[in-house]
Structure 1
Amino acid sequence: FQRGAVDGLNMIVPHGDPIYYRERPRIAVPEKDVLDLDGYFGLHPRLAVLKPLWDSKTLAAVHAIGSPDATRSHFDAQDYLESGTPGVKATPDGWLNRYCQHDREHQDTPFRAVAFGPQLPRILAGTAPSLAIDDLQAFGLRAPQPAARDRLTRAFEELYAGSATGLLSTSSREAFAAVQMLKRLDPGQYRPANGADYPGGRLGKALLEIAQLIKADVGLHVAFADVTGWDTHVNQGATEGQLAGRLGELGQALAAFTRDLGDGMRDIVVFTMSEFGRTVRENGSSGTDHGHATAMLVLGGPVQGGRVLGKWPGLDPAQRFEGRDVAVTTDFRDLFAELLARHLGATDLSAIFPGYTPDPARFPGAISA
């Protein structure tokens, strides 16, 4: 999750449209620096490490994607993206948790659904068990001295053994079972494969730990990570600067993850999302303000890559949303529903996205049917 609203126009650049350059005299990525993808769109140069994935057709982009709700509030838009119910604030759970509630095949492991961060995100909140792990090595029972930690562990083991009494909640049982499994895995000994070099920072660390759990075969089915810093109102930059730095970290982390997993990526799909995009026109502070549609990336073995997906609305003022933003032509629920249905085998999509009926005819085509 790119929290803060990534500028999709500088991530997947419409370098073939002169309006892009006219509206962004200071922050447009120069055409000579754009990594061309199809003659019209191109990658920001700080995402160059992802170009081989595009060339191998395991990376796609979906442009002009977003929420049908017009809010420009970070809080509301993130809530709608994670709940899967745009415009409805009362939804109690997240759409990934609802998927887990309806998936009956992967319930025998505490690592079925894991968020990598200090707290459980909205997208995984709900009745299906899930975990929040801020650090694999530190995840567990904390006490200052080993002897005290051992006593605490034994006490929890006794409680866990008697959990049929109902004294231990489901979430507590899941967490303690995860602690016991991690003790056997010894995550501190993990070394990335194939020369993968994860960047420092929160995202690189999260993807490295996701790779660890995948390789450990502990039953990880869905994983979530987020990274902040995308709200570029001031001094956004073009090939260098604030946005370029964030894109560089994103690209390096995704490239390291795919290299680390190697052939394992044939069964894995990774996608990015952000609550909305940025204005077409740069502002007076060499930045961009809150917009509407953005761009999302989808990568992995099952992806029909090498394409920019979605219906491109154009940048002409008459084609923009409210005369200022890229218009939404793909509802984010259609992409998410496609990933759930075609990659994870979900069938009851209307239960996962209440109030909406996903239609395969509207799927952007990221995954083979």
Structure 2
Amino acid sequence: MNDHSCDSFKDAMSRRSALKLGALGLVPWLLSGSALSQIKIDSTRRGHALVVLFLRGGSDGLNMMVPYADDHYYKARPSLAIARPNDLRVKEAARSVVLNDYFALHPSLAPLKKWFEAGSLALVPAVGSQDMTRSHFEAMSAMERGAPTGHSGEPSGWLARYLNKTASAQDTPLRAVAWADRMPDSLRGAPAPLVVQSITDFHLDADEDFVRELKLKYQNEPADPSNLMHSAGANTLHALDRIERLDPKNYKASGGATYPTSPLGAGFREVACLLKSDLGLEIACLEETGWDTHFAQGADTGVHASQLDKVAKSIDAFMTDLGPRAKEMTLIVMTEFGRRVQENASLGTDHGRASVMMALGDVDGGKILGQWPGLAPNQLDDAGDIKPVNDYRTVLTDFLSPKMPEIANIWG
């Protein structure tokens, strides 16, 4: 992949398209397939929730989950390698954080160590697919659709297929929400997912008198089970009312959790708010860009370290805030591909294949799962990359199917 392609990727990721649900913004939901049923928000109905954080740009898995016991790692990265946990030549803050006798976390991910020790974090190295593409767009699209690159027979996303397979009359307008600038491919084809930059975007952007009259109309007219449009509209207004009373802007986290002020931190804060408020959120999609580190990637400090710091602090606050309810959800952290084993001449890393997947919450944690192919030259693929010996679909199924059985039936 050339530099122009990466520039196109960065340009596309930087374009903003803020979404507001205006008065007409109700129409797509009202006309959707999921709206053609009588929906009531039942605060006693709590299923397992899935939160997916996608690191867009191809995060360097080797520096996220450091194979400190392998000398090949240090030979391939004389400038970018993260120091061993016991390397007394460098300050403690620059050393990797030991997980077992082979792998350690990047020091910026240190806040996640306690979740690993508590059995609430599991990691899988060498995750990817058999696709050979080095294109961000192609790799992300294929992974989010759960299909090989160029496979035109699967236009919908893997989360959309799950949502369609498990749809019910109790689903709410907040069943699937993406905190993003655009619809993630994983949700394409889902029954009316919301795409917001903040859940406060989910409101009636209309004249106050009109909103008052609309609410009175739904309150005063008798419920008619045969009037599906009326039922859907009434339940959407109910969701809007619940969010207004929730007051997400002034939400106070529990357990002493402090979210970063970054958009990612704000997104996790709102996910926690909705989950704890029992508004029917089942699928939450978050994303963080800025992982395409061709130049000046840095080791324990720098661009990549700063990105990991945002992720770790956001996740740590989220898990702390949820408290015992963290066992009612699974958080998946994934990326479209990893980076090359060998650092480049610009003190960065180029597009590779396999990376790392993390799972938190209701998981069999405190473990590093899956296979590891090794970093010796004869263990790499022909291009010198880590072999993706753990297919991302298998890993997702293993993590999620115990609580979400239909996940096993969506890959085709």
TM-score by length of 1: 0.87
Relative distance call for 1:153 and 1:125 in structure 2 (3 A) is farther
Distance 1:297-1:106 versus aligned 2 partners, 3 A rule: farther
Name the residue aligned to 1:102: 165
Tell me which of 264, 267, 273 is aligned to 1:203: 264
Match for 2:210 among 131, 148, 151?
151
Q: Deviations over 1:60-108 (max 9, x none)?
A: 1100011221111000000011101122145221110100111145743
Tell me if the contact between 1:60 and 1:298 (Cα under 8 Å) persists in the aligned partners. Answer: yes
Tell me which moved more, 330-339 or 223-232.
330-339
* In the alignment, structure 1 residue 34 sits paired with structure 2 residue 34: no
Q: Give 3-state SS (helix, strand or coil) of 2:258's partner.
A: coil
Q: 1:270 and 2:331 equivalent? A: yes
**Superposed displacement of residue 163, structure 1:** 12
Which amino acid letter does the alignment assign opposite residue 96 of structure 2? V
Structure-2 residue corresponding to 1:244: 305
Aligned partner letter, 2:181: P
SS in 2 for 1:227: strand
Corresponding residue for 1:20? 73
CA contact (8 A) 1:131 1:175 kept: no
Equivalences, count: 346
Amino acid at match of 1:294: S
Relative to structure 1, is the Cα distance of residues 107 and 340 closer, same or farther in structure 2, using a 3 angstrom cutoff?
Answer: farther
- Do the aligned residues in 2 keep the contact of 1:340 with 1:346 (CA within 8 Å)? no
Partner of 1:367: none
Q: Residue 12 of structure 1 contacts residue 41 of structure 1 at CA under 8 Å; is this kept in 2?
A: yes
C-alpha distance in 1 between matches for 2:263 and 2:381: 34
Structure 1 position 223, deviation (Å): 0.9
The letter for the 2-side match of 1:275 is E
Distance change >3 Å, CA 35–CA 98, structure 1 → 2: same
Following superposition, the deviation at residue 164 of structure 1 comes to 7.3
For residues 353 and 20 of structure 1, the distance between their equivalents in structure 2, rounded to whole angstroms, comes to 34
Secondary structure in 2 aligned to 1:205? helix
The alignment status of 1:353 with 2:411, answered yes or no, reads yes
By how many angstroms is 1:341 displaced?
Answer: 1.4
Instruction: Classify the secondary structure of the residue corresponding to 1:6.
Output: coil
Q: Which consecutive unaligned segments of at least 5 residues does structure 2 have?
A: 1-53, 88-94
Q: 2:188 aligns with which of 110, 113, 125?
A: 125
1-structure distance, mates of 2:126, 2:212:
50
- CA 1:10/1:152 → structure 2, altered by over 3 Å: closer, same or farther? same
Q: How far off is 1:136 after superposition?
A: 2.0
How far did 1:256 drift?
0.2
Q: Which runs of 5+ in 1 are unaligned?
A: 355-369
Partner of 1:358: none
Q: Deviations over 1:321-344 (max 9, x none)?
A: 224111011111101222331122
1:289-328 → structure 2 map (5 Å cutoff):
289-300=350-361, 302-328=362-388
Which amino acid letter does the alignment assign opposite residue 295 of structure 2?
V
* C-alpha deviation, 1:182, in angstroms: 1.4
The alignment-based identity, stated in percent, is 39
Which of 316, 333, 336 does residue 393 from structure 2 map onto? 333
Distance 2:59 2:325 in 1: 29
Query: Does structure 1 residue 11 correspond to structure 2 residue 64?
Result: yes
Change (3 A) 1:164 1:202: farther
Aligned-residue offset at 1:197: 0.7
| 2:398 alignment partner, SS class | helix
Q: Distance in 2 between matches of 1:211 and 1:303?
A: 18
Deviations 1:3-52 (A, max 9, x none): 00000000000010000000000110111301111111000001111111
Q: Deviations over 1:238-297 (max 9, x none)?
A: 000000000000000000000001111122211101000000000010000000000011
CA RMSD of aligned residues (A): 2.4
Letter in 2 for 1:313: P
CA separation of 1:156 and 1:284: change in aligned 2, threshold 3 A: farther
What amino acid is aligned across from residue 15 of structure 1 in structure 2? Y
* Aligned equivalent of 1:63: 125
Alpha-carbon distance in 2 for matches of 1:173, 1:84: 35
2:373 and 2:169 map into 1 onto residues whose CA distance is 40
Give distance in 2, aligned partners of 1:152 and 1:106: 26
Q: With structure 2 as the length reference, what TM-score do the two structures score?
A: 0.78
> For 1:49, what is the secondary structure of its paired residue?
helix
Alpha-carbon contact 1:54-1:305 (below 8 Å) kept? yes
The AA in structure 2 aligned to 1:208 is R
Deviation beyond 3 Å, 4+ runs, structure 1 = 104-107, 152-168, 172-178
